[in-house]
Amino acid sequence: MSRSYRTIILKKSVPSGQTVSPDHFETRILPIPKIVEGEALLRPLAFSVDPCQRTLLSGATDTMLPPYVVGRPMFGSAVARVIETRTPDLTIGSLVQGWFDWADYVVTRPSKDDMGPTPIDPQIEKPSYALNVYGITGLTAYFGMIEVAQVQRGETVVISSAAGSTGSIASQIAKIRGAKVIGLTSTQAKREVLTGQLGLDYALDYRAEDFADQLRSIAPNGPDLYFDAVGGQLSQTIMQQMRRPARVVEVGQISTYADDEKAWTVNITHIHMNGLRFEGYQPLLFIDQWPKAVQELQEWVNSGAIQPLETEMIGLESLPRALEALFEGQNTGKMVVLAEGDEQLMH
């Protein structure tokens, strides 16, 4: 094994309103440190690329996760293989999930917090699914639909970013629960995935000039539930058509993340006028129920009721481009970057 490795460094912060691009990052080559007692050396195999990383790039400090620091490695949720170990808690060859640097190798030690290495069930179909349907993506969809929305059979559900990582799983959970599901996305190819592959009832182009009319023709009484990961003007258009006792479950505001003046800002006009219930949440609120949720998600995947979607890029150097592509809407399902040379993560 080479005693040097590559890591992706944040070269300059990305202020709100500025587009994320590969120019904001650089690759550095560093010596692999020797591990000491209590540590393990990991080889990251699959990296998750997520909307929440945009906020961390701006230098914001009021975030759930530590912000990225100029001159320091980027990091995120990843799956890794244990290469060397000096701790009985991690065995060579095993797979773990945690928050790891964007690097060829990382040194870690067992931890009780949510960011430390956690063993992955070796029976899952594909290790990258630990970042997808069995990770924060699937958990956000599961608790949003099951515990918060409590979606019921016969309800009409609108899901923004339905071809995205969380939206695609939430859409399928709503179908499992017997709802009529209207998925929103941007391209014809994605709409065909939603209705053809995932079995949604309708897929609409939210950018269409007559989008509001299309939605009204499908749901003349308004949606019963709006699963919102987008925010902004799109959410206002949908909430305008909703009527009491309809509810909005808010899981993100990706359309506003690059704008400090609008980020996390919600116009409550239609919530007030139409008597809507608006509830925001994030899956850490249900952390004690995660094992049960993962078990049920596994059952749905095994039965074919849920089909996890992934957009894959290959190689550590692809991470900056993958982050840029995510905010350009180029992904279908979960955006993941796979390390080169590990066939267990390939199709």
Task: Please say if the pLDDT value at position 257 is more than 60.
Answer: no
Residue in 59, 66, 65, 70 with CA at minimum distance from that of residue 25? 70
User: Which has the higher per-residue pLDDT, 56 or 86?
Assistant: 86
- Taking the C-alpha atoms of residue 255 and residue 146, their distance in angstroms, rounded to an integer, is 25
Structure tokens at 114: 């949510």
Q: Give the least confident one: 183-187, 205-209, 337-341.
A: 337-341
The conformation of residue 83, written as its DSSP 8-state character, comes to E
What band does 299 get if pLDDT is binned at 50, 70 and 90? very high
Q: Of 21-25, 241-245, 254-258, where does mean pLDDT reach its minimum?
A: 254-258
Task: Provide mean pLDDT across the span 260-285.
Answer: 85
- 99, 93, 98, 106: which is closest to 32 by C-alpha? 106
When the pLDDT of each residue in the chain is averaged and rounded to a whole number, the result is 90
On the question of pLDDT at 35 being above 80, the answer is: yes
Q: 122-144: buried (b, 16+ CB within 10 Å) or exposed (e) per residue?
A: eebebbbbbbbbbbbbbbbbbbb
pLDDT-based confidence at residue 73 (cuts at 50, 70, 90): very high
Q: Which of 144, 183, 161 is nearest to 50 (CA)?
A: 161
The helix or strand, by DSSP H or E, that contains position 192, with its residue range, turns out to be: helix 188-192
Residue 33 has a pLDDT of 86
Per DSSP, the three-state class of 286 is helix
Domains annotated on the chain, with CATH: 4-132+308-345 (3.90.180.10), 136-285 (3.40.50.720)
Burial degree of 222 (CB within 10 A; 0-12, 13-18, 19+):
buried
Identify the helix (H) or strand (E) that includes residue 38: none
Bridge-based pairing state of the strands 106-108 and 247-250: unpaired
Lookup: tokens for 259: 């704008």
DSSP-derived 3-state class of residue 242? coil
Whether residue 160 is predicted with pLDDT greater than 80 in this model: the reply is yes
Per-residue pLDDT tens for 311-339? 999 999 999 999 999 988 899 999 999 99
Q: Above pLDDT 90, what percent of the chain?
A: 73
More confident residue, 340 or 46: 46
pLDDT value of residue 14:
83
Q: Does the pLDDT of residue 110 top 60, yes or no?
A: yes
Regarding predicted confidence, which is higher, 123 or 214? 214
Rounded-to-integer distance, Cα 43 and Cα 41, Å: 7
